[in-house]
Structure 1
Amino acid sequence: MSVLALDTAQSESQMCAEFAELLGLPEPVDEAVLRAALSSDSYARSLLASRRTPQMLQMLLMSPPRQVRARAEHTTTELFQRGSRSLVNWARSGFSTTDPLAREQRSEACRQCPHRQAPGASLLQATRSELGICGLCGCPLSRKVSMLSESCPGEMPDTPGVNRWGQVITVSHPSN
């Protein structure tokens, strides 16, 4: 093991121990908890707020938000174009929104998606939602799941041709 790798491992385990101490825990927190707290302000705040409620704290420690991939960068121009198309399509649908059951099903699919990311720094990705941002398209998921005209850009791993929301994926070809 290299010296740098050893230092990184020691500092991460030290940070896990220090974070546990801050939370009033006798043992270091899991590395996944530390990483999730560092990437999600709301998760970190929830942990700190739950210090005096052991059952809630344990529940939060057992299920940290998943942060699988590094943030994909979407340019402001790309986000603006996607947002504009989305708004036009939504207007064409009569500003139709999903019913509560469909919205919750879409939200749950997004929560389980490995492409889901914490909210971006871009103003066009601004969201206060725990759902965060779609790493594939850069859209705020709380808005995306609510708009009937939207679809998920991610394909189901075991079902080619179907997106994570259970919709058949159609490919639109630009007109010549």
Structure 2
Amino acid sequence: MLTELEEKLDGLEWEQARVAAAEYVGLPGPLPAPALRRAMVEDRYCLVLLAFRGNLPRLKELVTHPDNRAYELPEDSAPAATTANRSTAGLVIEAGKALNRWAGAGFRTVDQETYERRTAACAGCPELIEPPVRWVYKVALATAGDDRVCGACGCVASRKARLATERCPRRDPARPELSRWDEPFAD
């Protein structure tokens, strides 16, 4: 890893290092574990991350790049079990509740800046996964651009992030009073 970033992470626990690395390059959520591992061993990848500091669209591409999968460990995909174990009926019920909240609020969506902040946080979250093979996702993703889902709640992340009535289900590891979307955490 390049000295510049290495100095920022020196002495930190793993989760703290993920948060600090993300802050250093300008991502709103913790750097995905595989991306940080890759940056630790590939100087070129680390240089590219640093070169695109503050450029959220480009950073999202870098931290979710398929080549990062080579740096995954079994514990990185552990949250996937949460979504994988949800029943289809349970997912449909939760989607219906979200739709009801959204309709009750007049179908309000968030502004573009909030949407970008939320989706960048999701992109940097270790719980963002490929959707399980289920009919409910085939229907929900028929027109989705980014079809990855939240392993914590089962929602299509890019769609949930657009709705003003929805909240991230996980706390920010660095600031427990906030969600990973950098909004007040609601239980």
TM-score with structure 2 setting the length: 0.54
Pairing partner for 2:77 from 69, 73, 98: 69
Pairing partner for 2:177 from 149, 161, 169: 161
Conserved 8 A contact 1:133-1:140: yes
Pairing partner for 1:86 from 82, 85, 98: 98
From the CA coordinates, give the structure whose radius of gyration is larger. 1
CA RMSD of aligned residues (A): 2.7
Q: Which residue in the other structure is 2:107 paired with? A: 95
How far apart are 1:99 and its partner, in Å? 1.1
Q: Which residue in the other structure is 2:166 paired with? A: 150
- What amino acid is the match of 2:158? S
Q: Which segments of structure 1 move beyond 2 Å, counting only runs of 4 or more?
A: 62-68, 123-131
Conserved 8 A contact 1:116-1:134: yes
How far apart are 1:129 and its partner, in Å? 3.2
Structure with bigger helix share is 2
How far apart are 1:123 and its partner, in Å? 2.6
Total equivalences in the alignment = 115
TM-score with structure 1 setting the length: 0.57
Pairing partner for 2:129 from 108, 111, 117: 117
Structure with bigger strand share is 1
Uncovered stretches (5+) of structure 1, i.e. residues with no partner:
1-31, 33-58, 172-176
Uncovered stretches (5+) of structure 2, i.e. residues with no partner:
1-33, 35-60
CA–CA separation in structure 1 for the residues paired with 2:173 and 2:107: 31
- What amino acid is the match of 1:98? V
Q: What secondary structure is seen at the aligned counterpart in 1 of 2:95?
A: helix
Identity of aligned residues (%): 32
Larger RCO (alpha carbons 8 Å, 6+ apart): 2
